[in-house]
Amino acid sequence: MKRVLLLLANGFESYEASVFTDVFGWNLYEGDQSTELVSVGLHPVLNCTWGYSCIPMAQLNEIDLNEFDALAIPGGFEEANFYEDAFSERFLATIQHFDQRHKPIAAICVASLAVAKSGVLNDRLGTTYRFENNPRQEQMKAFGVLVQSNERIVEDGNIITSSSPETGLDVAFRLLEILTDKENTLAIKRKMGFTS
């Protein structure tokens, strides 16, 4: 069983987390059943960007990172205090742990900024939120990332970054493909109604 750590910062966007919970949930029940997703946070209760509350399955200090095969991180909003957790020492150390072991890291939208701030994307390719007149890509460049500003999704080695919430399902399916295979991923897409 391959285990995915869904790392949730306070202020995360629930949609961006749900793409991982749904894709990996469908794989657990309707796919090859080879993956398990565990949601983890820094607090017993997390507030989502749009006012929802979430109880993660575990706290970061309760788990052994070595028991996980991949890391998934949804983005969030500064106005919801996303960066307080996402830029914290424990959050960034978790990202570093997965990169040092060459395990897949999948970040949606501004979660890519946490990956960049951790240092693991220094002189590597990546992207983040790219809406016009938004400072996030410049912020990512300041962290040493070779920003691919016109790309929806960028892969550099074991790290996937993306440019908006719109990319969420594609990022989740790509992570599933990396952890299982293309045939299984296509089967899940069909069962979820994304392809015929």
**pLDDT tens profile 50-93:** 988 999 999 999 999 999 999 999 999 999 999 999 999 999 99
Answering whether pTM is above 0.85, one says yes
Enclosing domain of residue 37: 2-115+166-184
120, part of any domain: no
**According to the model, what pLDDT value does residue 51 have?**
87
Phi, psi of 62 (to 5 degrees): -100, -10
131, part of any domain: no
Number of structural domains found in the chain: 1
**According to the model, what pLDDT value does residue 131 have?**
83
Q: Give dist(CA 76, CA 61) in Å, integer.
A: 22
142, part of any domain: no
Are 79 and 31 a contacting pair, CB within 8 Å?
Answer: no
For residue 26, the domain's CATH number is 3.40.50.880
Q: Is 156 helix (H, G, I), strand (E, B) or coil?
A: strand
Nearest by Cα to 20 from 39, 33, 2: 39
Q: How confident is residue 196, by pLDDT bands cut at 50, 70 and 90?
A: confident
Chain segment 109-159, per-residue pLDDT in tens: 999 999 999 999 999 999 999 887 779 999 999 999 999 999 999 999 999
Residues contacting residue 24 through CB under 8 Å, at least 6 positions apart? 4, 35, 36, 37, 172, 176
41, part of any domain: yes
Mean of all residue pLDDT scores within the chain: 96
